[in-house]
A and B are shown apart, each in its own frame.
Chain A
Amino acid sequence: MTDRPGKHRALLRSALKRALILAPILPALGADTREALLLGGPAVVAATWLSLHLLPPQRPLRLIRFLALLPGFLWRSLLGGVDVAWRAFHPRMPLNPGWASVPSDLPDGGKVALGAEFSLMPGTLVAGTRDGRLLVHMLDADQHLEGAVRLEEARIARMLGQPDTAHESLPTSGAGPS
């Protein structure tokens, strides 16, 4: 069901993308001399290998779309900080905490990204998944949640691209028992 060359090509593509994400860390650390690159090069290779080992690629990550998501994410995390600061400083402390569970069928990695994003957005905090549903804690239990989750889920799904048929050997939805 999987042709080996296609699978290898997809793996190589993932490896190159991840190396592309990891490599800029080197100059940021100040490793800009030739000697530094002698050590840093292998470090990038090792980091890429470790990344592929810990989170095998399932869907191709689209770097451009990932970058396109950043401004909106930063803006919403700013709103999240302002919101919680307002509640903290307010004399009456307007809190109405509550829980909701929202189904999500993003693949591995996607749900963590969604959870991380929601944990920085105004009023929501994700506490992992149970039975394939995200457990969301809300500072205001009357907050509208479903629509926001769908919106972010769609954004992340677009960033991840279509399921890569070359990797169908791995489960693409839900989280298997680890």
Chain B
Amino acid sequence: MMAAWFTGLAALLLLTIAAALWRIWRGPTAADRMMAAQLIGSGGVAVTLLLAAAGQPAARDVGLVLALLAAFAAVGFVKAASHRGAGDPEADDASDARAGRAEGRAHD
């Protein structure tokens, strides 16, 4: 009984995250598309957990890899999208912002 429940729930969850595809399609910014893709990542992990509980334990390993890949995808996106390939949130943002934006804007 629980197996059928989890399978059904996994299907509903797939529909829920499929709706996020609309945001990937429309954007408008690259970050919007990236976060919708991330939603599909974390939703996909939940789907694998549900399928594992529904009698396919191997799905958990798929979920583990998916979780890792989602993290790497986010970092990869940030490295590709930020100027000079910086991605460290602790790095001072001012120099990046100066490099990337309209020249002549006075910071500090």
**How many chain A residues touch the partner (CB < 8 A)?**
18
Beta-carbon contacts under 8 Å, B63-108 to A: 64, 86, 88-95, 97, 107-108
Given contacts A131-B107, A132-B92, 18 further A-B contacts (CB under 8 A): A29-B64, A108-B90, A111-B89, A111-B90, A112-B89, A129-B89, A129-B92, A129-B93, A130-B93, A131-B108, A174-B92, A175-B88, A175-B91, A175-B92, A177-B91, A177-B95, A178-B86, A178-B88
- Considering the chains assembled together, what is the distance between the CA atoms of A130 and B97 in angstroms? 9
Residues of B within 8 A of A29 (CB): 64
Give the residue name and chain of the B residue nearest to A175 (CB). B90
Residues of A within 8 A of B64 (CB): 29
Is A136 an interface residue, CB under 8 A from the partner?
A: no
Chain A positions 123 through 162: 1 when the CB is less than 8 Å from some CB of chain B, otherwise 0: 0001111111001000000000000000000000000000
Secondary structure class of chain A's binding surface, majority of residues? mixed
Residues of B within 8 A of A108 (CB): 90
User: Which residue, B64, B93, B97, B107, has most C-beta atoms of chain A within 10 A?
Assistant: B93
Residues of A within 8 A of B89 (CB): 111-112, 115, 126-129
- Considering the chains assembled together, what is the distance between the CA atoms of A128 and B91 in angstroms? 8
- Considering the chains assembled together, what is the distance between the CA atoms of A177 and B108 in angstroms? 17
Chain B residues within CB distance 8 Å of chain A: 64, 86, 88-95, 97, 107-108
- Considering the chains assembled together, what is the distance between the CA atoms of A127 and B88 in angstroms? 11
CB A110 to nearest CB in B, in angstroms, measures: 9
Chain A residues within CB distance 8 Å of chain B: 29, 108-109, 111-112, 115, 126-132, 135, 174-175, 177-178
A135 touching B93 by the CB < 8 A rule? yes
B92 touching A177 by the CB < 8 A rule? yes
CB A119 to nearest CB in B, in angstroms, measures: 10
Residues of A within 8 A of B108 (CB): 131
- Considering the chains assembled together, what is the distance between the CA atoms of A11 and B92 in angstroms? 27
Residues of A within 8 A of B95 (CB): 177
CB B30 to nearest CB in A, in angstroms, measures: 15
Give the residue name and chain of the A residue nearest to B88 (CB). A178
Give the residue name and chain of the A residue nearest to B107 (CB). A131
- Considering the chains assembled together, what is the distance between the CA atoms of A135 and B96 in angstroms? 14
- Give 6 A-B contacts (CB < 8 Å), ordered by A residue: A109-B90, A111-B89, A128-B91, A135-B93, A175-B90, A178-B86
Give the residue name and chain of the A residue nearest to B92 (CB). A175
